[in-house]
């Protein structure tokens, strides 16, 4: 009858009457296998990462020394495997508890299983971790679990601790993963939501707090004692109290290049000094102010008076502009020291189509005179200048007579004269006075003398000089 083997360790059981003379060797081998299973330490080198369908084999071979039988197994590699390593313990009906260390390079994890691969039945060994795993030997549906998943020690004393879970709470050197935080008597203190990590605290009294993100809703800061703080960004829709700086004239609201947009104030704005790019003041008063100190203002509208550049105009339809000095004050144009109610220092031109009025009020009793008798000297008074754009005709009464001294009837209108062998066309040529009042005398063709005659009607006994 052939030998059989134990399920879990593969120890050979010699059948009755078998292996005469050699059973001692088989028994010694069995002791070696037991020794390996109880305290064997093995370093297994993985040549490749493998996969869930083609994993690295960790066998427990019947009757022969093999890596899967050892008590402590350390997985190593000859270089980065390029991904997660997959390892399968065989056979799938062997029940075994084993210590395993993941010493793979490049921070690679190990996925270890026993039956047919199923993500819910395997166990992932973090890189650098030591674990104690239980293989339940349930065949194709075998599972691999952490022996210490529900470890409940009476007391643990350690200088440092790296604990994976404590009552479903993950604790390591930097993290504590919990769902609920309670007081010693069981009173709920806070909850932490999965996925978002949001902590909801029933009540909290903090001596100091450094909050670097998130939101605080419906919270009063400085309720009992005013709080000091620095806010890189403060977002609020409502301030239900006075907003007062800690000290006077020390802090700015905004900065050059980082300015607030619109400012709405329903009340009085008390500002020591105001510098504004533009201002639209629709009411109130501006007292003791200078406009255009650094840069002149370009236009000012005061009631119905508009000052724009060099022009002062009235915006009222047909509105008058009144300048009234106070008391004994005077108005000066071109001078800062007027001597009269209105003093003009410079030339003043009145348009020809304009009219103006003068009064005798306050005129001096001595009236100046100006000699305009230039007919004899044929010269203008030196105080009078006269120019024209065309040549004038001088009437001296001898060689040229003035029109009012020419008493001949129709002397300037030949159309009233009698023309023989000729025709007269009136107002066709330029007369000496520059007007088109001269006539044209045109002789008939083929004629000789073309007389032009006028008749003088004489009464009884008059004297006529011709």
In this prediction, residue 262 carries a pLDDT of: 84
Both tokens assigned to 64: 């022969």
16-30, 237-251, 357-371: range with lowest mean pLDDT:
357-371
Q: Write down the domain spans for the chain.
A: 4-146
Do the beta carbons of residue 164 and residue 170 sit within 8 Å? yes
pLDDT band, very low/low/confident/very high, at 437 (cuts 50, 70, 90)? confident
Question: In sequence order, what are the residues at sequence separation of 6 or more whose Cβ sits closer than 8 angstroms to the Cβ of residue 346?
Answer: 333, 334
Angle at CA 305, nearest 5°, toward 301 and 310? 85
Cα gap 287→98, rounded to integer Å:
93
State pLDDT tens for residues 45-90: 999 999 999 999 999 999 999 999 999 999 999 999 999 999 999 9
Q: Which range among 270-279, 354-363, 370-379 shows the weakest confidence by mean pLDDT? A: 354-363
At 384, give phi and psi (nearest 5°): -120, 130
The per-residue pLDDT for 266 is 83
* Token pair 């004297």: residue: 463
- Asked if 125 and 109 count as a contact pair (C-beta separation under 8 A), the reply is yes
Q: Which pLDDT belongs to residue 72?
A: 98
Average pLDDT (25-38) is 96
Q: Is residue 45 within 8 Å of 81, Cβ to Cβ? A: no
Residue 63, pLDDT score: 95
Structure tokens at 5: 């083997």
Tokens of 387: 């120019």
The answer to whether residue 137 scores a pLDDT higher than 50 is yes
* Region 371-382 average pLDDT: 63
Nearest to 217 by CA among 194, 235, 197: 235
Average pLDDT of the chain is 81
C-beta of residue 84 within 8 angstroms of C-beta of residue 71: no
Residue 131 has pLDDT above 90, yes or no: yes
Dump the DSSP string for 151-218. Answer: ---S----SS---S-BTTBEE-SS-EE-SEEE-TTS-EEEEE-TTT--EEES----SS----SS---S
CA distance 295 to 287: 20
Q: pTM of the entire structure?
A: 0.40
pLDDT value, residue 466? 47
pLDDT at 394: 62
From residue 324, alpha-carbon distances to 125, 167, 307, 321 in Å are 101, 97, 17, 10
* Residue that has been written with the tokens 């009020």 in this structure: 361
How high is the pLDDT of residue 358?
56
């Amino acid at each position: 009858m052939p030998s059989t083997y134990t399920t879990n360790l593969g120890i050979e059981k010699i059948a009755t009457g078998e292996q005469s003379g050699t059973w001692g060797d088989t028994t010694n081998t069995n002791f070696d296998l037991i020794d390996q299973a109880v305290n064997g330490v093995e370093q297994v080198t993985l040549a490749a990462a493998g996969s869930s369908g083609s994993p690295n084999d960790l066998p427990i071979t019947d009757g022969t020394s093999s890596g899967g039988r050892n008590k402590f197994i350390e997985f190593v590699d000859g270089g980065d495997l390029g991904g997660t390593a997959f390892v399968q313990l065989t056979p799938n009906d062997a029940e075994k508890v084993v210590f395993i260390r993941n010493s793979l390079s490049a921070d690679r994890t190990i996925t270890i299983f026993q039956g047919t691969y199923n993500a819910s039945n395997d166990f992932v060994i973090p890189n650098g971790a030591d674990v104690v795993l239980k293989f339940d030997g349930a065949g194709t549906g075998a599972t691999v679990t952490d022996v210490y998943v529900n470890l409940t020690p009476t007391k643990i004393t350690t200088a440092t601790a790296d604990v994976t879970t404590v009552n479903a709470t993950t604790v390591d050197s930097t993290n504590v993963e919990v769902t609920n935080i309670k007081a010693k008597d069981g009173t709920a203190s806070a909850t932490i939501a999965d996925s978002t990590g949001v902590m909801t605290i029933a009540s909290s009294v903090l001596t100091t707090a450094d909050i670097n993100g998130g939101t605080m809703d419906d919270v009063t800061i400085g309720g009992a004692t005013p709080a000091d703080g620095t806010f890189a960004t403060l977002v609020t829709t409502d301030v239900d109290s006075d907003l007062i700086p800690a000290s006077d004239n020390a802090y700015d609201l905004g900065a050059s290049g980082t300015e607030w947009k619109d400012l709405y104030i329903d009340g009085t704005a008390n500002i020591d000094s105001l510098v504004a790019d533009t201002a639209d003041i629709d009411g109130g008063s501006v007292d003791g102010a200078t406009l255009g100190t650094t840069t002149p203002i370009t236009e000012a509208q005061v009631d119905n008076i508009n000052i724009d550049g060099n022009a002062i105009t009235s915006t009222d339809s047909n509105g008058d502009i009144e300048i009234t000095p106070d008391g004994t004050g005077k108005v000066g144009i071109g001078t800062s020291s007027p001597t009269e109610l209105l003093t003009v220092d410079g030339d003043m031109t009145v348009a020809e189509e304009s009219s103006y009025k003068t009064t005798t009020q306050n005129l001096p009793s001595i009236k100046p005179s100006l000699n305009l008798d230039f007919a004899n000297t044929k010269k203008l008074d030196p105080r009078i200048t006269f120019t024209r754009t065309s040549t004038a005709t001088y009437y001296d009464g001898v060689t040229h007579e003035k029109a009012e001294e020419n008493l001949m009837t129709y002397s300037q209108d030949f159309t009233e004269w009698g023309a023989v062998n000729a025709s007269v066309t009136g107002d066709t040529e330029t007369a000496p006075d520059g007007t088109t009042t001269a006539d044209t005398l045109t002789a008939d063709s083929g004629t000789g003398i073309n007389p032009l005659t006028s008749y003088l009607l004489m009464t009884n006994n008059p004297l006529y000089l011709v």
